[in-house]
Structure 1
Amino acid sequence: MKKPELLLLMFLMFVGVSCSNDDDLNGGVSTSKTAHLYATTHNGDIRRYDINNGVETNYANSSSDAEGIFFSSEDDSFTIVSRSANRLESYSGIGLLGEGGTKNPEDMIMGSADLENPRDLAVNGEFYVVSDNTDLDEDETTPEGRLFIYRKTETNFVLRNVVQTKFKVWGIEFVGDDLFLAVDESSKLAVYRNFLTVNTNNRIVTAEKIVAIQGLIRAHGLDYDNGTMVLSDIGEAESSSDGALHIIENFQEKFSLTDNGGFIGAGDQLRISGGNTLLGNPVNIVYNAAYNVIFVVEALNNNGRVLAFNDATSVSGNISPDLKYALQGASSLFFYTE
């Protein structure tokens, strides 16, 4: 057994002890020296799992509900989107606190309470973009969403501007300077090219292109790495067994060749779904190409889980997750490795 696989086996054994007894764990993910999986919850818990040594670290914070997280190695901080305070909150000096148990970060900066129903966070340099799924006119027949654009400084998050979309938005992801969005309550994916430079004022914006993903029912999470886009499908919100993951290799080429209003066919993607997957409402995902693994927040099944699927670009169908552990109220993930 290779050393990384042995280390992950130790992690899986640890998770099996620290989580619910009915969690079956199998498989492995080979990682580099640093492999930290950060997770937020709707009950305010912020956790980091060190995949290499199995240590779980909890971080005290001022939020009782968070959805959206990003770790920056430049200032050794993690930033969360607080749904309870409707703002961005960043906690620095994380590495100096050590690992294990509960840590209390002392250095914190926060933004203004501008948000109403935040759902995801995407970061491009000093700019932090938050998707907000508020129904502004309280009319379900006229869907809209908002994107709050903040610039992070040493002491604050400064709101630069807010743009309004012509559809409900959930997950967001930068691919270079282009911002891709999951169109909520649909099977569609939209893009705004050169998002930060083109959209500098408060205004209503029109997506450059919107395409559907064949076989997908309700898009929520998305993540892109090294040519591959992964999207999550929660299916019917009340069902704990109809979720799915859609994996699209050579994504940018396939997206560019698809006409606006068209669709990316089932033959151009892989799909993970079925009872063995434990996917019901996979609301947030992270894909890492170096290890070819998808980490998933499953929000409904078992009242919250984090799952992982190996060999993401070569498997499909009704497969079991390679990692599974309970996390009540799980809402979002960020995977940091070096």
Structure 2
Amino acid sequence: MKTIKTLALIFATAMTLVSCSSNDNDAEIKLDSKILFTSNNTDGNVNMYNVTSLNNVTKATLTTTATAADGIYYDGNQDLVVQASRSSFGVEGYANITNFATSTTVSANVTGTLDMTSPREIAVKDNIYVVADNADVDGDPDTKDGKLFVYTNNGGNFTLRNTITTDFKLWGIIFIGNDLYAIVDTTNKLAVFTNFLNNSSNATLSASKTIAIEGIVRTHGLTYDTATDVMVLTDIGEASNGQDDGGFHVINNFAANFNGTANNETLAISNQTRVAGTSTLLGNPVDVAYDGDSKTVFIAEAGNGGGRILAFNNIGNGGNLTPAYNATLSKASAVYLHKE
């Protein structure tokens, strides 16, 4: 079994300390690392940041054939990076990354049919890969709908198992156990489909439950840490402002808070911690990852300054925090944290 522990990425430049900088330096990814995988909509490349220490961040890049990409995931058992290509409109996997050095050009060696129109986030359960597509399904812009593409990864191929049409627009998705949580795009709402994978045929499906999140204008990204029961949601604010009206919400004791909020009711801001303000550099935070060990939030910021990868720690009571780490990444679109 290969995991990130076995990464032998030997890079060209010696390790140099960097902090709150866009000038990441190439270095070896060492044992017991925390690796942040990122996608973007500028060149479609996969960037891998060693974020074991925010005072010593290094980066390696896989140059892909995609020209734009969104959701991203790393499977340590297969040593496989997967992202949703917004140029080919399929799911693409890059295997054996332990063999790659920085600035290596790679081709997708795990592919499938090109079924999607506007793929966004990826959620993974065992060998099932679910991709949220936020394109208009019925051709009527006045009706809200989206589609979930359900793929199986067997024998080195992504095979479309079925599709689920939703009665709301989609963006971020994540599995918590057997339940699929989904962002209700253009709103401040969070929905859940219980026992989602039991739906194995093409169908139209309504959420099992939907709640609103007080304090959020429009949410996009979400992530959940099972060990600490923490959910983090991003707020992109007004779509017309991509520079300084974004934020994110941390919800501790998420299970109790979600279960204690009735269907179609609102989770109070008093049960959340909000980070927002001009110092945060959050304008259009489209995706998020969370390290429960260090209580660090990682953000794919698509708008501010053209795009950034940001990290926040010492969140405490929230507020207008300055990022602990800030690196330029044009049109950043997705982040995934892998820990060993």
TM-score (structure 1 length as normaliser): 0.89
Equivalent in the alignment of 1:24: none
Q: Percent identity?
A: 37
For residues 277 and 307 of structure 1, the distance between their equivalents in structure 2, rounded to whole angstroms, comes to 9
For residues 109 and 122 of structure 1, the distance between their equivalents in structure 2, rounded to whole angstroms, comes to 17
For 1:70, which of 73, 96, 99 is the aligned residue? 73
Q: Displacement, 1:11? A: 4.5
Equivalent in the alignment of 1:4: none
Equivalent in the alignment of 1:162: 163
Equivalent in the alignment of 2:294: 291
Match of 2:109, SS state, is strand
Provide, for residues 242-296 of structure 1, a one-character-per-residue CA deviation record: whole Å limited to 9, x for no partner: 1010110111111111110101001000000111111100001001211211100
Equivalent in the alignment of 2:4: none
Equivalent in the alignment of 2:230: 228
Q: Which runs of 5+ in 1 are unaligned?
A: 1-8, 20-30
**Following superposition of structure 1 onto structure 2, how do residues 1-338 of structure 1 map, counting pairs within 5 Å?**
11-13=17-19, 15-18=21-24, 33-43=32-42, 44-52=44-52, 54-97=57-100, 99=101, 101-105=102-106, 108-197=109-198, 199-226=199-226, 227-239=229-241, 240-312=243-315, 314-338=316-340
Equivalent in the alignment of 2:10: none
Provide, for residues 148-206 of structure 1, a one-character-per-residue CA deviation record: whole Å limited to 9, x for no partner: 00000122001000000000011001111110001000010000011112x11101101
Q: Displacement, 1:303? A: 0.3
For residues 239 and 330 of structure 2, the distance between their equivalents in structure 1, rounded to whole angstroms, comes to 17
For residues 13 and 183 of structure 1, the distance between their equivalents in structure 2, rounded to whole angstroms, comes to 35
Match of 2:192, SS state, is strand
Q: CA contact under 8 A between 2:312 and 2:323: conserved in structure 1? A: yes
Match of 1:267, SS state, is helix
Equivalent in the alignment of 2:12: none
For residues 196 and 114 of structure 2, the distance between their equivalents in structure 1, rounded to whole angstroms, comes to 23
The structure-2 alpha-carbon separation of the partners of 1:307 and 1:32, relative to structure 1 and needing over 3 Å to count, comes to farther
More helix by share: 1
For residues 294 and 112 of structure 1, the distance between their equivalents in structure 2, rounded to whole angstroms, comes to 34
In the TM superposition, structure 1's runs of 4+ consecutive aligned residues that sit over 4 Å from their partners are 13-16
Q: CA contact under 8 A between 2:251 and 2:273: conserved in structure 1? A: yes
For residues 160 and 221 of structure 1, the distance between their equivalents in structure 2, rounded to whole angstroms, comes to 25
Q: Displacement, 1:16? A: 4.6
For residues 244 and 66 of structure 1, the distance between their equivalents in structure 2, rounded to whole angstroms, comes to 23
For residues 293 and 240 of structure 2, the distance between their equivalents in structure 1, rounded to whole angstroms, comes to 34
Match of 2:18, SS state, is helix
Q: Displacement, 1:62? A: 1.7
TM-score (structure 2 length as normaliser): 0.89
For residues 281 and 308 of structure 1, the distance between their equivalents in structure 2, rounded to whole angstroms, comes to 15
